[in-house]
Amino acid sequence: AVPKEKHDYQSDVARLRKIVINRLEDVFIRELISNANDALEKLRLTALKDSSYHYGADGLNITIKAVKNSDGPGGKLIIADTGIGMSPEELTTNLGTLAKSGTSDFLARAESSDATGQGNLIGAFGLGFYSSFLVADRVYVASVPPKSPKDPNPTQYVFSSSADDSSFETYPDPRGNTLGRGTEITLVLKEDAADYLDPKNIMDLVSKHSSFSSTFPIYLFTERDEEVPVEDEENEEVTSEDADEAVVEEVEEKEDKPVKTKTVHVEEWLQLNPEPPIWMRDPKDVTDDEYERFYQATFKDYEEPLAWHHFAGDSGSGVSFRAIIYVPSRLDESFWQNQGLSTSTVDVRLMVKRVFITSDLGEDSLPKWASWVKAIIDAEDLPLNVSRETLQSTKFLKQIRSIILRHIIQMLTKLAEEDPEKFNKVQEVYGTALKLGAVEDKKNQQKLAALTRFASNKRERVALDEYVEGKRKGQKQIFYLADVGKSVKALGDSVFVEKLTARGYEVLLLNEPLDEILVQNMRRWKGMAFQDVAKAGLEFGDEETDPEDEKKEQEAQKERFQPLIDYLKEQAKDLVRDVVISNRLVTSPCAIVADKFGYTANVQKMMSASNS
C-alpha cells in the first residue's frame, strides 16, 4: 500500500480552521442545552394539560458531567435533562431524520442562498443535535419518556452513532431505566476536544453562550480534593461560650506544631445559569451584555438586538406581568412578502409564573407593522393551566397586545430623543414598517407618524415635527413632491421644488410607495395641510407677509450688497446700463436682462449683425 503522507495546513487555512472550529464548538453545547430546555418545557406543558403526567419532586433540570478516562487521554461529556424524553420510535425519527430539525433549515439555506447570506449561517441557524459530532467521535443518546397511564413502565432506549458512520443503531439500554425520565447524551470526545473535560472551560462556555439558553437550572458536576485540618479532641470539647478563646489557643498552637490535615474528596453540583431569570430582575441590576446574550439565546438570533425595553405593569384586568421587548437588528426577509399576521412562532413568548405557555397569540398577535418585535412576557396572576382559548376570553391577551404596542412606540420615541444615531439605524431597518403602522394602526397613528422620517430638499431625514418647527414665517402648508421610485436627488432637482428651495422652503421628497399614502391619509399635521407642490393652487404663504417687513428686508439686502453692486457697475460700465438686486432669480447668480424700454437681447443681436 502507498504510505500515508502527512501535510501541514498552510497557515491561513489553519487559522480559518481554528476560527470555524471554535465558532462551531461553541455551538454544540448551546444546541444540546437548548434541546434539553425544549424537552423540559414540553414536559411541563404536557403535565399542565394532562394531569396524569407528574414530574414529581425531583425537579426539572439539566446536568453536565465530564468523565475523564482513567487509562489515558480522552473522556466523555454527559449532558442530561429530566424532560419529556423520547420513545424508541421518537429516537429514530427525531435524531435519524432531518425532517423537523433546525438542521434542515440550515441545509436548505446553505444550499439555496447566495454567498453573501452564508457568512452568518453557522451562527444564525442552530445546527441542532448534529453539532455533537463537531466534538465527539461517538454519541450515545439514552432516553425514556415519563411514566404515563398509557405506558406505566417505559423502557429506556439508546441511540448510538459515530461521526463517520452513515448509519445509527437503537437498542434497549443494557443498564435498564437509569434515568427515570428524560434524556442523557454522552459525547465520546475526540482527542482534540479534551478541553471540554475541564470544568473551568465548560463553565466559561456555558456562561458565555448558554447561560440564557434555558430557564431551568443548569448544573455542572465538579469534584476536587481539599485539605482540611484534622479536628483535635481538645477542640471538640470546647463549649460555645469560650469559643473565642479556643481559636486563639489554636493559633498559638500552630506556631509550635504543624496542624494535622487530611484530604477530603468534595463533590458539588454547581449551578451555571443565573437565578432568577433576567426578566424577573430589577432592570438596574441587568447589564447590557446580559440583555444581549439573553436575546440571542432566546430568539436564536446570531446578531445583537438594536434596542430593548424591560418593564413591569398591570394588564388592566388585574394581571401583573413583566416583559422585555427587543428590536432585532434586521427585518426578516419575508416581512414584506407575508401577508397579514406574523407567522413566526418564537417572536412573542408568553409565560405564566416563569412557565412557558405559548408563542401563539392567535388573533391577538401583534399587527403586521410590529410583527418583527421579539418579546417575553411573564404574567404573575394567571392560573398555570390556562389554555390559549381561556386566555383569549379573559381579555388578557388583548390588553397585553396593546400594552406591548404602546411600549414599542414609547421605546422608539425615547430612542429618537436620546440616541439619534441608534434611531437612525432603526429608521434604516424599520422606517417603512413604521410608515405602514402610521397608515394602518389608526389608534396609534399620531404617535407612529411622529416616528416616521422623510427626505427633504434641506435634510437627509426630517420628522414631521421638525418640519413644522422649521417652517417659514407665514407658511401654512407642508410641501411635498411625491414620485415613487425616483431618487431623492431627482425629486429635489425638479422644477416644482426649485422655486421653493430658492425661497427657503422645505419640501418633503417622497419616493417610497407608502409615503404619499400616509400623507394623504393624514391630510394634516399640527394644523398644517399637506400640499403637493406639483399641483395647481400652490400658495407659498409668504405672499401674505407684511409689506413693511418686506420693504425692510429689501433695504437690508440693498445695503449689504451695495459694495458688490458698485464694483460690478464700475467693471461693466461699457456693457450694461445698470446693475440691480433682483428677486426674480431662482438658482442662477445673475442674469442680463433687457431694459424695460430697450431692445430685447435677441433684437440687439440681430441689429449688431446687420451693422457689421
Q: What residues contact residue 172 under an 8 Å CB cut-off, 6+ apart? A: 155, 156, 157, 158
| 34/531 with CB nearer Mg ion | 34
Picked from ligand ADP, Mg ion, none, the partner binding residue 183 (CB below 5 to 8 A depending on kind) is ligand ADP
| 128/431 with CB nearer ligand ADP | 128
| 18/100 with CB nearer ligand ADP | 100
- Provide the CA 81 distance to its chain's centre, in angstroms: 28
The 3-state secondary structure of 251-299, one letter per residue: HHHHHHCCCCEEEEEEEEEEECCCCCCHHHCCHHHCCHHHHHHHHHHHH
Instruction: Choose the stretch contacting ligand ADP; rule: CB under 6 A; options: 96-104, 245-253, 494-502, 539-547.
Output: 96-104
Shortest CA distance to 178 belongs to which of 140, 144, 219, 217? 144
| All three cell numbers of 576 | 450694461
Q: What residues contact residue 227 under an 8 Å CB cut-off, 6+ apart? A: 261, 262, 263, 264
Q: Binding ligand ADP by CB under 6 A: which of 26, 31, 41, 378?
A: 31
Instruction: Choose the stretch contacting ligand ADP; rule: CB under 6 A; options: 124-132, 379-387, 464-472, 502-510.
Output: 124-132
Shortest CA distance to 97 belongs to which of 167, 157, 185? 167
Q: Does 294 help bind ligand ADP (rule: CB under 6 A)?
A: no
CB of 95 to ligand ADP, least distance (A): 5
Q: d(Cα 571, Cα 277) in Å, to the nearest integer?
A: 81
Q: Does 103 help bind ligand ADP (rule: CB under 6 A)?
A: yes
CB of 275 to Mg ion, least distance (A): 23
Q: What residues contact residue 331 under an 8 Å CB cut-off, 6+ apart? A: 372, 429, 430, 433
Picked from ligand ADP, Mg ion, none, the partner binding residue 39 (CB below 5 to 8 A depending on kind) is ligand ADP
Q: Does 102 help bind ligand ADP (rule: CB under 6 A)?
A: yes
Query: Please, which residues bridge with residue 49 across strands?
Result: none
CB of 90 to ligand ADP, least distance (A): 7
| 127/405 with CB nearer ligand ADP | 127
Picked from ligand ADP, Mg ion, none, the partner binding residue 103 (CB below 5 to 8 A depending on kind) is ligand ADP
CB of 146 to ligand ADP, least distance (A): 11
| 127/416 with CB nearer ligand ADP | 127
Q: Could you say which residues in the range 487-516 bind ligand ADP, by CB under 6 A?
A: none
Q: Could you say which residues in the range 177-216 bind ligand ADP, by CB under 6 A?
A: 183
DSSP string, 396-454: HHHHHHHHHHHHHHHHHHHHHHH-HHHHHHHHHHHHHHHHHHHHH-GGGHHHHHHH--B
CB of 191 to ligand ADP, least distance (A): 25
Q: What are phi and psi of 407, to 5 degrees?
A: -70, -35
Q: d(Cα 232, Cα 226) in Å, to the nearest integer?
A: 18
- State the number of binding residues for ligand ADP (CB under 6 A): 19
Binding residues: 31, 35, 81, 86, 94, 100-102, 183, 388
**Which residues of this chain interact with Mg ion, rule CB under 5 A?**
35, 128
Q: d(Cα 302, Cα 299) in Å, to the nearest integer?
A: 9
Contact mark string toward ligand ADP, 125..164, x via CB under 6 A: -x-xx-----------------------------------
Burial 95-123 (b: 16+ CB within 10 A, else e): beebeebbbeebeeeeeeeeeeeeeeebb
Q: Binding ligand ADP by CB under 6 A: which of 29, 64, 66, 95?
A: 95
Give SS3 for 346.
Answer: coil
CB of 77 to ligand ADP, least distance (A): 14
CB of 184 to ligand ADP, least distance (A): 9
| 27/350 with CB nearer Mg ion | 27
Q: Does 101 help bind ligand ADP (rule: CB under 6 A)?
A: yes
Tell the residue number behind the cell numbers 439500554, with chain if given.
Answer: 173
Q: What residues contact residue 271 under an 8 Å CB cut-off, 6+ apart? A: 217, 218, 219
Cβ contact 375:348 at 8 Å? yes
CB of 420 to ligand ADP, least distance (A): 39
Contact mark string toward ligand ADP, 37..56, x via CB under 6 A: --x-----------------
Picked from ligand ADP, Mg ion, none, the partner binding residue 36 (CB below 5 to 8 A depending on kind) is ligand ADP
Q: Which residues bind ligand ADP (CB under 6 A)?
A: 31, 35-36, 39, 81, 83-86, 94-95, 100-103, 126, 128-129, 183
